[in-house]
Structure 1
Amino acid sequence: HAAFRAGLVVCPLSPLYKQNELSYALKKANVKALLLPGCESKQSSINDFHGVFQKSELDEIKKNLKHLILIDGNNSIPNFQGFEVHFFDKLLENDGNLSEEAKNSVTSDDPAALFFTSGTTGKPKGALISHYHMSNNMKFALAKGLSLNGPVSVPLPLFHAFAGIGASVYPIKHYRPIVLNNFWFNIKSTVESIVKYNCVEFWGVPTMVFNLCEYIEATNTKIDSLQKILMGGSPVYESLIKKVKRLIPSIKELSIAYGSTEFGSFVTQTGINDSEEIALKTVGQVADHVSLKIVDPITKKIVKIGEQGEIWVKGYCRMLGYYEDEEKTREVIDQSGWYNMGDLGVLDENGYLKIIGRTKEMIIRGGINLFPKEIEDVINTHPNVAEAYVCGVPSEKLGEEVCAW
């Protein structure tokens, strides 16, 4: 929050980055200051930036990076030549006052954060998110859900937009504490913190919710404070919803959300009055102040209700663009400001969105278009299948063949 107030652009990085990944991110984002664990830090088990940084391409990085801020450790100065080294606890002793010039220099349209995408189609791209985007995202995104007071458990990584935006802005907008668990996701410490702080809400990907249920069942732990679970990031299966209802009977709302890094945390979300069937078959209705359309992948014309096509969205929470990459930005944002989510979907007569699959994952088998998610959904109905994954593989006869495991 101090960085936002000072007009600095925050760029969260994965603690799992290795040498080449960290070097790429620091150079791509033109990072000026890097916060990293200090000597003998407790974080070293999952965040070895201290060691990785020393092996990185320092000559290239030094062109922009000038300051290293050590978060913790034993306060000994590491052998980092050519950088100004600061200790975080010493910076906290500053009075925190900003000059009037700094206070007045930040506008709502200025970039506040840069989140790197997954890079599944090449090198990761840096999505620039504005102050306007971040300040409004949590205000409108969760408006359809259950209104609660009390702590929210967020064991998600902060380098993802789901938590990076949500955990940064939600507490301020709604005056609620966020509980961040450990340095990395650990189900035992997550459950312990939920019980300790009487968390009323839990945010996570379905895998985390699955782990939560497994731990509760294995340890016979009672979690009576939880009233809402918000899930996103991957498909939710019927077996998981039934498990949640059986093991956490205090849950009043199980909400499914859909979004992307480039378009903020949420585009659509199921509401408290939606049935279990809607939560299983759709990702809810579009968020307030967001426009959504389904278009033909070839003609780009809007298709009829019930017909599948590409999902395009428009609204306040669209990214400013990919940092220093106009070409990639133009590939996903058209001249009217619509953003291509890269997914195929169907919109029903009540405005509920069903995700069919990724545009680039479509399998063309003998001239027939097949979508992995539809096949996965059928396989996952088998009682002996925990989770299925489907993709296309080359076929001399058919062009592509379906592969499932």
Structure 2
Amino acid sequence: MTRYSPATTVPALLSDVRAFGDHPAVVDGDDRVSYRDLETRVHEAARAYLAAGVRHGDRVAVWAPNRLGFILAMLGAEAIGAAVVPLNTRYTGHEAAGILSRSRASVLVLADGFLGRSFSRMLREAAADLEPADGDAVPGLPHLRLVVDLDGRAGDGGTDWRSFLDAGRSIDDETLRRALDAVSPDDVIDILYTSGTTGIPKGVMSAQRQTLGVARAWAQGAELSPADRYAIVNPFFHGFGYKAGMIAALVAGSTIHPLPVLDADALLEVIQREGITVLPGVPTIFTTLIDHPRLSEYDLSSLRFSIAGATAAPATLFRDMVEILGFQRVAQAYGLTECVVATMSRQGESLEHAQQTTGPAIAGMEIRVVDEEGRDVPTGSDGEILLRGEQVMLGYFEDPEATSAVIDEDGWFHTGDIGQLDEHGCLKITDRLKDMFIVGGFNVYPAEVENVLRKHPAVNESAVIGIPDDRLGSVGRAYVAFLSDIEHRPDAAELTAFCRERLANFKVPAEFVIVEDFPRVATGKILKAELRRLA
């Protein structure tokens, strides 16, 4: 039976899993790091952070795709008690600058040039609007002292990863040991930003014990072991790829195979070459593989376990994943940024029931489904999903008002999602109270998109909803009303270009519908439910 690390801090985890010795911890192309060497490599990064002035409680941002460097950058900061702020690789410079400003991150580690985009240039151009001052590593972000590029130099005031690590050699063993020993289970380990209904990013804080605890629960539910080779396509900047991916693999001694993008050919080759056993992800990953014209040419017989989650799945997907892709077990889970894993399919669950429900609450978590008055609804009836337990966030970073709005005085987190519990205590998601929709596994909050559209000189008002999409699950549709006195009415292409300059690509509406007015309630509020019904 697999022993899962009981560690409640990253330094303890690294020390614990060292026992796996020469077993590979990470395989990233030609880079192969054993569990014996992982702790040494992470400590090397930790020394570099200390040499750069990062201290316990500081924030370190990472803006990079799935790769070994991301793992080392993240764990190195967490090992000395800094909180990591991951940034979505699809962010524009404006989005990244906003989160760096709000979190007051002191160091940014990035992969400049990923997908042909210069993160450092985008950031500098956007941050210049934030009252630049002389001496800032990035003018306009006074708290950001250093930018580190995993591959080369990050422009003026930046350094490369190798030079960053070399500077860490000045930190002696005793200084490092004191920093590692100072980390406690209740320290904030990460701040994951989510925009929410207001369109203003809120930083979801988790403790060291929580991130490791949720990873351990996921590993147990997936029956991870050192025999597993885990291909992680889900981004490390997202809880799915980070906590249910990277950290879950580490607590079980599994081997991590990071993949920077969803490239069907590359993924099929990795599965065949490395004998991948575990491959969770959003339905888009599996429909892309199932539809691949040369699927039959690849040996996928190693595939053991998958979770197809984060967005609505086609009705036949689970059966196709077993019968076409060859997975031995396909499951579901339910979670949010504020509680990354709350439920998970039971071991031995039938395929039909696993597709219909997300399973019961994981250990240490409670679920209620309540009506508008906060009363529990009968089994099989819809209501809002409430969560309470060990894995619910500590709160929103420096935002007690927003925290108290979603976590009541009894500790119940009000998710805004609608669901029902069946006779087995398994949760079925049926709708969302909030307007949020999911595009290819990424949350899109209409208020954020509407706030951007409001800045267009011709736009008077807009309303954004999610509409079904065969490939991505959902995409955005924006209903737009123009000001009455404008001379030029922009078309969809112009509105799309305007949004692309300010929003990550998955947030940009796929469609624009020009309207003279909207369906409204008596108070004037737009009836989005009516727009969704019409769509």
Q: Could you say whether these structures have the same fold, taking a TM-score greater than 0.5 normalized by the shorter chain as the test?
A: yes
Which residue of structure 1 lines up, in the alignment, with residue 231 of structure 2? 153
Write the letter of the residue equivalent to 1:241.
F
* Correspondence list, 1:1-400, <5 A: 1-38=75-112, 41=113, 43-45=114-116, 47-58=117-128, 59=132, 61-73=140-152, 75=153, 78=155, 80=156, 83=157, 85-93=158-166, 94-95=168-169, 97=173, 98-148=175-225, 149-182=227-260, 184-215=261-292, 218=295, 220-249=297-326, 251-264=327-340, 266-297=341-372, 299-361=373-435, 395=519
Partner of 1:368: none
Q: Please give the alpha-carbon distance, in whole angstroms, between the structure 2 residues aligned to 1:23 and 1:397.
A: 36
State the 1:189 CA deviation.
1.5
1:154–1:178 Cα contact (<8 Å) kept:
yes
1:141 Cα shift? 2.8
**1-side partners of 2:520 and 2:148: how far apart?**
55
1:403 matched to which residue of 2? 533
Give distance in 2, aligned partners of 1:88 and 1:388.
Answer: 38
Give the superposition deviation at 1:14.
1.1
Q: 2-side partners of 1:205 and 1:329: how far apart?
A: 28
Aligned letter for 1:171?
A
Deviations along 1:351-404, one digit per CA (max 9) or x if unpaired, are 011111101359xxxxxxxxxxxxxxxx99xxx999688999954799753536
The residue matched to 2:221 in structure 1 has which SS? Answer: coil
Query: Match of 1:20, as an amino acid?
Result: H
> Given the superposition, is the C-alpha separation of residues 91 and 163 from structure 1 closer, same or farther in structure 2, using an over 3 Å criterion?
same
Q: Give 5+ residue unaligned stretches, structure 2.
A: 1-74, 133-138, 437-467, 480-517
Q: In 2 relative to 1, CA 312–392 (structure 1 residues): closer, same or farther, beyond 3 Å?
A: farther
Taking a change above 3 Å as real, the CA distance of residues 188 and 392 of structure 1, as seen in their structure-2 partners, is closer
Check the 8 A contact 2:284/2:472 in 1, yes or no.
no
CA distance in 1, matches of 2:474, 2:105: 40
CA distance in 1, matches of 2:205, 2:472: 37
Q: Deviations over 1:95-126 (max 9, x none)?
A: 57443431232111110011111445412211
Kindly provide the amino acid, as one letter, of the partner of residue 210 in structure 1: T
Aligned length: 372
Secondary structure at the residue paired with 1:360?
coil
Distance 1:222 1:278 in 2: 28
Q: Distance in 1 between matches of 2:356 and 2:229?
A: 30
Contact 1:181-1:193 at 8 Å conserved across structures? no
- 1:390/1:403 contact within 8 Å kept: no
Instruction: Give distance in 2, aligned partners of 1:342 and 1:293.
Output: 12
1:92 is paired with a residue of what secondary structure? helix
- Which range moves more in the overlay, 143-152 or 287-296? 143-152
Letter in 2 for 1:175: G
Which stretch shifts more, 229-238 or 58-67? 58-67
Letter in 2 for 1:209: F
Structure 2 residue identity aligned to 1:276: L
CA distance 1:216–1:106, shift in 2 (3 Å): farther
Q: Does the aligned pair in 2 maintain the 1:256–1:270 contact within 8 Å?
A: yes
Q: Within 2, Cα distance between the matches of 1:386 and 1:327?
A: 34
Letter in structure 1 aligned against 2:302: S
Conserved 8 A contact 1:216-1:222: no
Question: What are the superposed Cα offsets for residues 118-160 of structure 1, whole Å, 9 maximum, x if unpaired?
Answer: 4454122110111010111111234233455221111011111
Q: Distance in 1 between matches of 2:369 and 2:333?
A: 18
Matched-pair contact (CA < 8 Å) for 1:35–1:69: yes
TM-aligned CA deviation for residue 15 of structure 1: 1.7
Q: 2:224–2:254: 8 Å Cα contact kept in structure 1?
A: no
Q: Distance in 2 between matches of 1:349 and 1:329?
A: 32
1:290-346 Cα deviation digits (max 9, x unpaired): 11111112x112222222211111111111111111111111111122111110111
Q: 1:314 to 1:218 in 2, by over 3 A?
A: same
CA distance in 2, matches of 1:390, 1:2: 37
CA spacing shift, 1:269–1:392, aligned 2, 3 Å: farther
* Identity in percent: 24
Distance in 2, matches of 1:397 and 1:359, equals: 17
Name whichever of 345-354 and 388-397 sits farther off.
388-397
Secondary structure at the aligned position of 2:292 is classed as: helix
Aligned to 1:202, the other structure's residue is in SS state: coil
Q: Which amino acid aligns with 1:305?
A: T
* 1:286 CA drift (Å): 1.2
Structure 1 alignment gaps of length 5 or more: 363-378
Deviation at 1:166, TM superposition (A): 2.5
Once residues 20 and 205 of structure 1 are traced to their aligned partners in structure 2, the CA distance between those partners, rounded to angstroms, is: 27
With normalisation by structure 1, the TM-score equals 0.83
Say if 2:275 and 2:302, in contact at 8 Å, map to a contact too.
Answer: yes
RMSD over aligned Cα atoms: 2.9
The question of whether the paired residues in 2 share the 8 Å contact of 1:269 and 1:283 is answered with yes
SS for the counterpart of 1:286 is coil
8 A Cα contact 1:9 1:113, kept in partner: yes
